[in-house]
Amino acid sequence: MKIFARIVARTLACLSVFLPFMSHAQNYPSRPITIVVPYGPGSGNDMIAREVAQQLTQIMKTTVLVENKAGATGNIATDYVAQAKPDGYTIFLTSTSSIINQVTNPAVKTDLSKDFESIAFAASLPYVVAVPPSLPAKSLSDVVKLAKASPGKLNYNGPSGSVSDYLGTKLKASNNLDMVMIPYKSTSDAQVDVLAGRIQVWFTTAASAVGLAKGDKVRVIAVTGDKRLAALPDVPTVKEAGIPDMFTEVSFFFVAPAGTPKDIVEKLSQSIDIALQSKDVESRFANMSVQVKKGSPAEVNGHIKAEMTKWSDIARNISK
């Protein structure tokens, strides 16, 4: 009996350790989930998050909300989610922009590779180079000529440490140009000044620019990806335009605060994967010039680490 009692005691002890972890995903979700995005309404992050949230609401049978926390090049949102309770009810749709900001801004304390649990990819998209119709430039070479003719007179959008800043820096460095970076909270925030002609060169996501280009509100003169956009087939890539160093594509991915139970992370990952299989999502993404991108938590984690190394090297080379 003593042996039997010891076996029972040990079994109960083991169950007391594992049962809490086993029950996390069984009761999850029991209330609304919030997807935090680091930029304002109309940004690439925002539009992608809202499409996925709509699908997740049906798949996970709970309300999935999108909350915009713009500012400080995405740091406000990043810090907010990193400090949130790791219970799966606050997750973060971030992107390559946050990686660039982390490796180029010494003031950034939150580490995407250490302070979060990777969940899943969401999408990828190129940036574009656009100008207001009032600017007499129909190509990147025209912009280069204008900048050389009027040093310090052409403005482009930031903020510092963003993909936009990187592209502007690359354009300047490759042609020895004097152009002025104007910081904005996001590429969409710069849109008003682009339409008013106060920003002459707009580096933004294809998703933000295609509709405006079709309405003749802006002129898209180059695509930063490796192929032309189906929505704007006459616009050349930066490689075709003669500045291959400006090539870049942005990946969007979901993460949760470090310490989020692995079974909840896995449930979120599987649900997002199902959401991305939706024909509605694929169609709406295509309309935004966005491509569906899928991957496991391990693949996202590997991507974050690889991109940090890549962008750290790029930043060092630019600063030389």
Going along 238-279, which residue ranges are E strands?
249-257
Q: With pLDDT > 70 as the criterion, what percentage of the chain qualifies?
A: 91
- Using one digit for the tens of pLDDT, what is the confidence trace for 212-255? 999 999 999 999 988 899 889 999 999 999 999 899 888 999 99
Q: With pLDDT > 90 as the criterion, what percentage of the chain qualifies?
A: 70
- pLDDT top residue among 278 and 17: 278
Q: What is the pLDDT of residue 227?
A: 86
**Nearest CA among 276, 136, 231 for reference residue 223:** 231
278-282 mean pLDDT? 94
d(CA 240, CA 247): 11
Q: What is the pLDDT of residue 69?
A: 96
Q: What is the pLDDT of residue 131?
A: 97
Residue 8 reports pLDDT greater than 60: no
Q: What is the pLDDT of residue 6?
A: 59
Residue 312 reports pLDDT greater than 60: yes
Q: Which helix (H) or strand (E) holds 148?
A: helix 140-149
46-64 mean pLDDT? 97
165-183 mean pLDDT? 93
Residue 15 reports pLDDT greater than 80: no
- Using one digit for the tens of pLDDT, what is the confidence trace for 200-211? 999 998 888 999
Residue pair 43/188 in contact (Cβ under 8 Å)? The answer is yes
Mention every residue, 6+ apart, whose C-beta is less than 8 A from residue 309. none
Residue pair 94/252 in contact (Cβ under 8 Å)? The answer is yes
Residue 163 reports pLDDT greater than 90: no
Give the CA diameter of the chain: 95
- pLDDT top residue among 59 and 7: 59
Residue 148 reports pLDDT greater than 70: yes
Residue 51 reports pLDDT greater than 90: yes
- Using one digit for the tens of pLDDT, what is the confidence trace for 110-146? 999 999 999 999 999 889 999 999 999 999 999 999 9
- pLDDT top residue among 219 and 23: 219
**Nearest CA among 126, 120, 118 for reference residue 55:** 120
Residue 21 reports pLDDT greater than 90: no
Q: What is the pLDDT of residue 320?
A: 58
Q: What is the pLDDT of residue 38?
A: 95
> pTM for the complete prediction?
0.74
Strand partners, 49: none
268-292 mean pLDDT? 93
d(CA 286, CA 160): 29
Average pLDDT, the chain: 90
